[in-house]
Amino acid sequence: MRIVFAGTPDFAVPCLRAAAARNEVVAVYTQPDRPAGRGRGLTPSPVKREAIARGIPVLQPENFKAQVSRDALAALQPDVMVVVAYGLILPQSVLDIPAYGCWNVHASLLPRWRGAAPIQRAIQAGDTETGVCLMQMERGLDTGPVLLSQSLPIGEGDTGGQLHDRLSELGAQVLSDGLGLLRAGIVPVARAQPAEGVTYAHKLDKTEARLDWTQPAQALARTVRAFNPWPMAEAQLAGERVRIHGAVPLALEHRAAPGTVLLAGREGIDVACGEGALRIRVLQREGGRAITAADYLNARRELVTPA
């Protein structure tokens, strides 16, 4: 087969490895190098670095609006184009080029959580299950029929980063299964997504990471997990802005104003919420590194609850 791969972030790298396992990837498309780091130097994407290491040609058009970009893709004569977190919405003129169209690996059980941030939104919503879909792409946003899928449980303590890594590997497995069928001359059956149960996973915004203590502790704990490692939850804690890396909800009754420190000790810092309390276990001061609540309290002895 002749496979063209399109992807950009770390999430897509295991899928590229799966697609390239038999040296069938004839080219890789990825986003143009972007400024990153303190020096703001142009930095290649994780997918580009993997492609270069494998000796696969890399193309980085800003988009496919120009005919020359579409002609370059057509000249590769792809049987299928695999798209994983590429970062561009492909026009129909591109979707029509590969013989078997474009396949997308999406980190949710469609039609739930179409869109940009399905992993974080699933945790934030309290879902107990997610998964990966291999989808035949069409013009709509993640609306295409599903070719293959596999589910995955969401653990009570899973963070966005942990679930990201597990789904990334699962996506590679599902993609490998689909390509294996195609090699055998079997085109996976495309099943239309149900009309019911559609939800959208809107792109993450840093402003969402600011915890509102008037919210229930359960909801805040899910946000802390979902937004770890990015954009990382932050909150005002006894007059200081901190980032919260780890926290658990407590089902306790209180009459304190939201944001009040109820108890502080080696087990954590319990903060009053609109419902229940949030026990902060790992946090980060501005300009510092992530530390345990016990270490934080060594610097803020005034918060420690007397024995």
The model's confidence at residue 30, banded by pLDDT at 50, 70 and 90, is: very high
How many CB atoms within 10 Å of residue 41? 10
Domain with CATH 3.10.25.10 in the chain: 206-303
Our measurement of the distance from residue 213's CA atom to the centroid of its chain's CA atoms, rounded to an integer in Å, reads 25
Query: With 80 as the cut, is the pLDDT of residue 236 above it?
Result: yes
Cα distance between residue 52 and residue 104, in whole Å: 22
**What is the CB-side half-sphere exposure of residue 3 using CA atoms within 13 A?**
27
pLDDT tens for 134-182 read 999 999 999 999 999 999 999 999 999 999 999 999 999 999 999 999 9
Binding-site positions for (6S)-5,6,7,8-tetrahydrofolate read 108-111
The model's confidence at residue 40, banded by pLDDT at 50, 70 and 90, is: confident
Angstrom CA distances, 265 to 238, 285, 286, stand at 15, 17, 21
**What is the CB-side half-sphere exposure of residue 284 using CA atoms within 13 A?**
15
The model's confidence at residue 36, banded by pLDDT at 50, 70 and 90, is: confident
* The pLDDT value given to residue 35: 85
Cα distance between residue 157 and residue 160, in whole Å: 10
- Residue 11 carries which DSSP code? G
* Helix (H/G/I), strand (E/B), else coil: 221: helix
Supply the pTM of this predicted model: 0.95
The model's confidence at residue 39, banded by pLDDT at 50, 70 and 90, is: confident
Out of 3.10.25.10, 3.30.930.10, 3.30.300.30, 2.120.10.30, select the CATH number for domain 206-303.
3.10.25.10
* The pLDDT value given to residue 119: 98
Query: Which amino acid type is present at position 210?
Result: R
Mean pLDDT of 286-306: 95
* The pLDDT value given to residue 205: 93
What is the overall mean pLDDT for the chain? 96
* The pLDDT value given to residue 41: 83
Lateral strand order in the sheet of 129-136: 58-59, 25-29, 3-7, 80-84, 102-106, 129-136, 146-153
E strand residue ranges, 69-121: 80-84, 102-106, 114-115
Residues with Cβ within 8 Å of residue 68, at least 6 apart in sequence: none
pLDDT tens for 183-224 read 999 999 999 999 999 999 999 999 999 999 999 999 999 999
pLDDT tens for 248-294 read 999 999 999 999 999 999 999 999 999 999 999 999 999 999 999 99
Please state whether the peptide bond connecting residue 111 to the residue before it is cis, i.e. omega within 30 degrees of 0. yes
Closest CA to 225 of 274, 282, 271, 144: 282
Rounded to 10 degrees, the C-alpha dihedral 212/217/221/226 comes to: -50
Out of 1.10.260.40, 3.40.50.720, 3.20.20.80, 3.40.50.170, select the CATH number for domain 3-201.
3.40.50.170
* The pLDDT value given to residue 22: 95
Mean pLDDT of 25-54: 92
Domain with CATH 3.40.50.170 in the chain: 3-201
Binding-site positions read 108-111
Query: Which amino acid type is present at position 297?
Result: L
